[in-house]
Amino acid sequence: MSHPLDTTFAALADPTRRAILSMLLEDDMAVTDVAEPFEMSLAAVSKHLGILTKAGLISQEKRGRVKWCKLEPDALKGASVWMQGFGQFEELDMDAFERFLETELEG
């Protein structure tokens, strides 16, 4: 069985998933709104959302007929604590994480 950190880092390894997390930093979004900026099918975006959900990085809930996505930033605490064990990393700063995601998306 894989360690929860494996699931977290695997989810963060994909640029599309990092872009989705960046979008969700602003507010909850409907799945269709999350999918809009990507040049891929709704089914492909849904697979990415499933991976992020499995990793605990986002949650999804149905409100009426619309499925909504919400960022779960506390899910990154395990990764942050693990990195702090190396003594080279500061505690996770969500503002810095947002800036990092924005930089990744521009590149």
Does the pLDDT at position 89 exceed 90? no
* pLDDT number for residue 1: 47
Strand-by-strand arrangement of the 29-30 sheet: 29-30, 66-71, 58-63
Specify if 87 maps to a domain. Answer: no
- For 27-76, the DSSP string reads --EEHHHHHTTSSS-HHHHHHHHHHHHHTTSEEEEEETTEEEEEE-GGGG
Residues 6+ apart with CB under 8 A from 66: 30, 31, 32
Helix 15-26 with 94-106: angle, nearest 10 deg: 130
Choice among 29-33, 57-61, 85-89 with the minimum mean pLDDT: 85-89
pLDDT, tens digit (0-9, with 9 covering 90-100), for 57-86 = 999 999 999 999 999 988 888 888 887 777
Specify if 21 maps to a domain. Answer: yes
Specify if 30 maps to a domain. Answer: yes
* pLDDT number for residue 85: 76
Specify if 63 maps to a domain. Answer: yes
Specify if 106 maps to a domain. Answer: no
Give the domain range for residue 11: 4-72
More confident residue, 42 or 94: 42
* pLDDT number for residue 92: 67
Specify if 66 maps to a domain. Answer: yes
